[in-house]
Chain A
């Protein structure tokens, strides 16, 4: 069993990649990584710093690489050639589509929740 991403990712063979929901407790970190890579390739440390800046979350090294290896295995990100020991990663087309679908679903939930909050604001009890 190897950890090198397959040349033909699973999603290319059998339709869209698995939704991030199947990542279990790594779904959150995976979403943050994909969102970070959406504006260009980054290596591990740059990902940590970027995610910390835009989400206020510092991903621990083990969690970051666990999520990276799952994303790479699913063909959602791709490792790039590197001249030093810090290897950058970039989003694949499938990764971009998955991120878009995931964020659309999250936006739908957020919109719905905010609309309901606005409608029912008078019916809340005291704190």
Chain B
């Protein structure tokens, strides 16, 4: 750094750390020069710090495909889809916990509030849609990955696929095991009463045991069996591994423009589904029709869940928008 005091150069160097490495490699030197000049003119400026921090975070978000930067259209679609997949994972982790809570209540008695009834119908219908979308989205990706493996061109896909399958296997096996402790009636392929098959509801409950208000009550948590506590701590890790594996697989799979456009349409539908699910969850929590016998009680954890789901939905909508935007720039339309 040719000009400015060593102290200004050090401060500029510290500010540069907000940016990712490849951004620094491209713009670092010239940006540092500008920062040194700016520090020389305005030695103390919290606005400069805030501005650099925000811009640095935006630069770090470029690979997610959520910013408005011009990147290759195929990269844009893949990155947006990967981001949407992760956000949907977070959304469903919280949403399934709420949904399974309602399913448990319904095993014992039908809700006496219309809003809770409608919420459960809407949330259950949306879960079905999510299941169908997951299959429709996964088939072309799985086919492409399998083709590459068959042609011994799986470079870069082995680790993400391993992460995905390891996370999924751990989650499925663990959820199957812990669903034995489901507080619903169980025992029948279809529930005695209610909308959701007992096995499905029990699986959803067990896989989201970690989404619990018990974390705020260590005394009560200490009375849990050690294996259940271990599961509550380990299952989120499995979900994270699964999502990282899925996101990296999507980003590294060279899908055709036609398939990417198809996936972008599915992303749009998924965002609409998230909105429908959130509307259902809100109807339940806001209506406060918790009867009979307080079976459908919504607590602070459900309020917090709504906030997390709303935040995930907002960013997911942006991701689906960017995926569609990128798909418009793909060749062979």
Chain A residues in the interface with B (C-beta under 8 A): 1-4, 10, 14, 18, 22-24, 26, 43-45, 48, 60-66, 68-70, 73-75, 82, 84-87
Sample 28 A-B pairs with CB under 8 A, ordered by A number.
A1-B71, A10-B329, A14-B329, A18-B70, A23-B68, A43-B30, A44-B33, A44-B34, A45-B34, A45-B37, A61-B38, A61-B48, A62-B51, A62-B53, A62-B54, A63-B55, A64-B34, A69-B23, A69-B69, A70-B68, A70-B70, A73-B69, A73-B71, A85-B1, A85-B30, A86-B30, A87-B29, A87-B30
Q: In the complex, A86 Cα to B37 Cα: how many Å?
A: 11
Please indicate which of the listed interface residues B22, B25, B32, B70 has the most CB atoms of chain A within 10 Å of its own CB: B70
Please indicate which of the listed interface residues A2, A24, A66, A75 has the most CB atoms of chain B within 10 Å of its own CB: A66
Number of residues from B at the complex interface, CB < 8 A: 34
A53 → chain B, closest Cβ, in Å?
14
**Which single residue of chain A is at the shortest CB-CB distance from B25?**
A3
Residues of chain B with a CB closer than 8 A to A69's CB: 23, 26-27, 59, 69
Q: With A1-B75, A3-B22, A60-B51 as known contacts, state yes or no: A65 contacts B34, CB within 8 Å.
A: yes
Chain B residues in the interface with A (C-beta under 8 A): 1-2, 22-23, 25-27, 29-35, 37-38, 47-48, 51-56, 58-59, 62-63, 68-71, 75, 329
Q: With A61-B35, A66-B58, A70-B70 as known contacts, state yes or no: A1 contacts B52, CB within 8 Å.
A: no
Q: In the complex, A120 Cα to B23 Cα: how many Å?
A: 51
**Which single residue of chain A is at the shortest CB-CB distance from B47?**
A60
Please indicate which of the listed interface residues A48, A62, A66, A69 has the most CB atoms of chain B within 10 Å of its own CB: A62
Q: With A61-B48, A66-B55, A85-B2 as known contacts, state yes or no: A10 contacts B70, CB within 8 Å.
A: yes
A1 touches B31 (CB 8 A): no
B52 touches A61 (CB 8 A): yes
B109 → chain A, closest Cβ, in Å?
50
Given contacts A43-B33, A44-B34, 10 further A-B contacts (CB under 8 A): A3-B26, A4-B26, A45-B34, A48-B34, A61-B51, A65-B27, A65-B31, A68-B27, A69-B26, A70-B70
Main secondary structure of the interface of B (DSSP, over half): helix
In the complex, which of the residues A22, A45, A73, A84 contacts B2, with contact meaning CB atoms closer than 8 Å? A84
Q: In the complex, A84 Cα to B2 Cα: how many Å?
A: 9
Residues of chain A with a CB closer than 8 A to B26's CB: 2-4, 69
Residues of chain A with a CB closer than 8 A to B22's CB: 1-3
B272 → chain A, closest Cβ, in Å?
23
Q: With A2-B22, A85-B33 as known contacts, state yes or no: A62 contacts B27, CB within 8 Å.
A: no
Q: In the complex, A60 Cα to B163 Cα: how many Å?
A: 42
Q: In the complex, A76 Cα to B118 Cα: how many Å?
A: 52
Residues of chain B with a CB closer than 8 A to A86's CB: 30, 33-34
**Which single residue of chain A is at the shortest CB-CB distance from B45?**
A60
Residues of chain A with a CB closer than 8 A to B53's CB: 62
Residues of chain B with a CB closer than 8 A to A87's CB: 29-30
**Which single residue of chain B is at the shortest CB-CB distance from A89?**
B30
A80 → chain B, closest Cβ, in Å?
11
Residues of chain A with a CB closer than 8 A to B1's CB: 85
Residues of chain A with a CB closer than 8 A to B63's CB: 1
B68 touches A3 (CB 8 A): no
